[in-house]
């Protein structure tokens, strides 16, 4: 018992000695010196014998260095933007200032883009599974441009946009606006059919849309109607649902944009309410372009 009491006194003496050292360091170095001083735990039952190495021999730490963990968030932040899942927006939001090409020049530019770049494109995995590329078609001087998501099976076989059941319905929508298909220009965000008509990935969109942006720049429509959520989200860089995007005017590089539902969605949900919603969106476009309704072809 006496030996235990001696060990307790020895540890207590060590604590007092280290406290005195800490106070001296405090006077010499300032308040930050205490942050580097490590004091032993208070004595408890079962202490090591007095012959154990004395912690008092350890040197008193000087001013503490800035803690390393504070720098970790700053080092990690750039890695978030290096992730392959993050795709930077292409182009910019500045309106076009250069005058559009002449009609003949537009025809030549669009044909050259299709033949020399799009038809032989292999920049993303979609090219490996396509039958044909679907560049787009219509009036090179169109005031109105429709942009969908991507080709389907019928489009992949024919090389033309919107030629299946959805295309037939789009034709009725165009006719209801008092226009013909050859009066407008129709294209898609991606030029190759995604497998099983799935939504294109962000990487596929980022790879393919420079072609679309060139089409828009050369055609220079007054209004773009995006058909479906993927096309709207691409141009508008928005994560809002379709119900909040559709029917509201916005713009892309100075061109007015009206999002609405894709004809394929209408075919799946061909209700009176949905038809009225889409027709209301198209009526806003007609008003912007000064068009008159042709008969009752709003379908």
Residues 6+ apart with CB under 8 A from 275: 266, 298, 299
Ramachandran angles phi, psi of 172, nearest 5°: -65, -40
Q: pLDDT for 15-41, tens place per residue?
A: 565 555 445 444 443 444 334 434 344
Q: What is the pLDDT of residue 18?
A: 58
Identify the bridge partners of residue 185 per DSSP, sorted by sequence position.
Answer: 138, 145
Which backbone phi and psi does 230 adopt, to 5 degrees?
-60, -40
Cα separation, 248 vs 63, in Å, equals 61
Q: Is 230 exposed, middle or buried (0-12, 13-18, 19+ CB in 10 A)?
A: buried
Residue 121 corresponds to which tokens in the numbers above?
A: 């494109």
Closest CA to 135 of 195, 185, 65, 181: 185
Owner of token pair 């965000």: 189
pLDDT beneath 70, residues of the chain? 1-92, 294-299
CB 273: neighbour CB atoms within 10 A?
Answer: 7
Topology of domain 103-289 in CATH is: Uracil-DNA Glycosylase, subunit E (3.40.470)
Q: What is the pLDDT of residue 159?
A: 97
pLDDT of residue 154: 95
According to DSSP, the residues that pair with 144 across neighbouring strands are 223
Domain ranges of the chain: 2-68, 103-289
Q: In the prediction, which pLDDT does 93 show?
A: 82
Residue with tokens 């933007």, as numbered in its chain: 81
pTM of this structure: 0.69
Give 146's strand partners.
186, 225
């Amino acid at each position: 018992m006496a030996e235990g009491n001696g060990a307790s006194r020895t540890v207590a003496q060590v604590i007092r000695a280290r406290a005195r050292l800490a106070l001296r360091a405090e006077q010499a170095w300032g308040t930050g010196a205490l942050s580097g001083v490590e004091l032993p735990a208070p004595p408890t039952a079962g202490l090591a014998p007095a012959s154990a190495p004395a912690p008092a021999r350890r040197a008193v730490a000087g001013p503490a260095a800035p803690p390393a963990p504070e720098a970790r968030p700053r080092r990690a932040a750039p890695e978030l933007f290096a992730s392959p899942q993050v795709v930077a927006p292409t182009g910019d939001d500045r309106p076009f200032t250069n005058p559009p090409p002449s009609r003949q020049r537009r025809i030549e530019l669009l044909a050259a883009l299709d033949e020399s770049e799009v038809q032989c494109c292999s920049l993303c995995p979609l090219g490996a599974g396509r039958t044909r590329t679907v560049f787009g078609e219509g009036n090179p001087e169109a005031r109105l441009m429709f942009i969908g998501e991507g080709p389907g099976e019928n489009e992949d076989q024919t090389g033309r946009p919107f030629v299946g059941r959805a295309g037939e319905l789009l034709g009725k929508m165009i006719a209801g606006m008092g226009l013909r298909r050859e009066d407008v220009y129709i294209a898609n965000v991606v030029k190759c059919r995604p497998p099983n008509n799935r939504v294109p990935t962000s990487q596929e969109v980022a790879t393919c849309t420079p072609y679309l942006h060139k089409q828009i720049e050369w055609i220079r429509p007054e209004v773009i109607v995006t058909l479906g959520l993927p096309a709207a989200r691409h141009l508008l860089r928005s994560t809002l649902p379709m119900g909040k995007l559709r029917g509201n005017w916005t713009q892309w590089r100075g061109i007015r944009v009206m999002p609405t539902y894709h004809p394929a969605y209408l075919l799946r949900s061909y209700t009176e309410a949905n038809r009225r919603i889409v027709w209301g969106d198209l009526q806003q476009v007609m008003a912007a372009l000064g068009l008159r309704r042709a008969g009752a072809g709003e379908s």
